[in-house]
Each structure stands twice: as C-alpha cells, then as structure tokens.
A and B are shown apart, each in its own frame.
Chain A
Amino acid sequence: AQSVTQLDSQVPVFEEAPVELRCNYSSSVSVYLFWYVQYPNQGLQLLLKYLSGSTLVKGINGFEAEFNKSQTSFHLRKPSVHISDTAEYFCAVSESFQKLVFGTGTRLLVSP
C-alpha cells in the first residue's frame, strides 16, 4: 500500500524568503508524484507532477520539486515566496493516475 507523509502541518515564512515543504512517500512499485495547492475556499489546483525522466520538476508560480528515489522524497521548493503563496499544499502519490493517495497537507503562512 502507498502512503504519503507531510511532516510539517504548518510552515511560517517571511515574504521573499525561500521555503521547502517536505514530502516522503512509501510504495513497493514505481509511482507518480504530485503537488497540489489549495487557496482559501477553493478546490485543488495542480502545481507540478513527476511522471518520469528528469528528477527536477518545475511547476507553476515559480515552484519546483525534486524526486529522490533513494530517499523516497519529493520536496517542494520556492526560492522567494509571496504573500499570495499563502495556501495549503498537498503531496500525492499514485501508481496509476486513477487513484491518488494524499498526504495530510502543509499550511504555508507567508507574512510581510
């Protein structure tokens, strides 16, 4: 069975500082990995995805993530955050695209 761990439930950061949101997964087979963002009172929007190939994946809004197979991690990074990045971020894993297993989410709080 697959599982996803997002150890940080909340990450406070100042505007223009870098940020890393951590995601670790477990699976016995090859997986696809996703980061979704949820702005207040909205549904989920895909930030980026790893399917195969280059382990560094670039997404929307300046975010990127690195797939590390040996450490079973897929951490999300942004070199300089904005107030508008305040949201909840979900890491998800899937063996096929049909069924996603989500982590518990990390709330990113950006303050001026």
Chain B
Amino acid sequence: DVKVTQSSRYLVKRTGEKVFLECVQDMDHENMFWYRQDPGLGLRLIYFSYDVKMKEKGDIPEGYSVSREKKERFSLILESASTNQTSMYLCASIGPGRNEQYFGPGTRLTVT
C-alpha cells in the first residue's frame, strides 16, 4: 500500500513566521504535489516536483516555495506566513506508469 505522510495534522503559527510543511512517500514515486484546499474553491495546485531538485509552479505559487532534496520528501515552505494562508494543505504523489495520485491526510494550518 502506498503511504503518503505529512508531518503535522494541525499547526498554528503566527503572522511572519517561517513555516515548513513536510511530506514523505514510501513508494519511490517521481512526482509529488502540494495542494491547498479551501471551502468553495476545491483543491488548487501550489507546486509540483517531477524529480529531485526539480520543481514547477502550479496555479497559486505566490507566497510559497518548495524543496525536494530527496526523492521521498517534498517540503512546502511559507517564507513569511500570512493570515490568508490559513488553509488545509494536502500532499500527493504518483509513480511512473501509474494513473492515480495518492494523497496524504492533510495539514490544517492556522496563521494568527
């Protein structure tokens, strides 16, 4: 079974803090994704990575950056958290020749 884990289920941070959200997958998948989920907006792609040290912007990259130093780990970074980044963040991965993205349980981030 594919397992995608996220470092925290709930996180509360203050405005201006640097925030790291970690995602790890155990299936040697090349491609990994970060989405944010907001009520009434569904899931929107922030960034994705198709290999170590490779990244591409998704639909809403502003205010975020990512890091992929190892194949199994994909980190989302909020350089200076703001209240409008309060959201649910979901990580996903997909392997070569596969047709289904596997999702982690999500991190609910609150920025106060």
Which residues from chain A sit less than 8 Å from chain B, CB to CB? Answer: 4, 6, 9, 32, 34, 36, 41-46, 49, 51, 90, 97-100, 102-105
Contact = CB atoms under 8 A, between A and B. Distances in A.
Interface of B: 4, 9, 31, 35, 40-45, 48, 50, 90, 92, 94, 98-101, 103-106
Given A43-B90, A104-B40, A98 B50 contact: yes
B31 A102 contact: no
A97 B99 contact: yes
Given A51-B99, A98-B94, A9 B43 contact: no
A100 B104 CA distance: 16
Q: Chain B interface secondary structure, helix, strand, loop or mixed?
A: strand
Given A45-B103, A100-B45, 6 more contacts: A4-B42, A42-B106, A43-B106, A49-B99, A99-B48, A103-B42
Q: Chain A interface secondary structure, helix, strand, loop or mixed?
A: loop
A100 B90 CA distance: 13
Contact of A100 (B40, B98, B101): B101
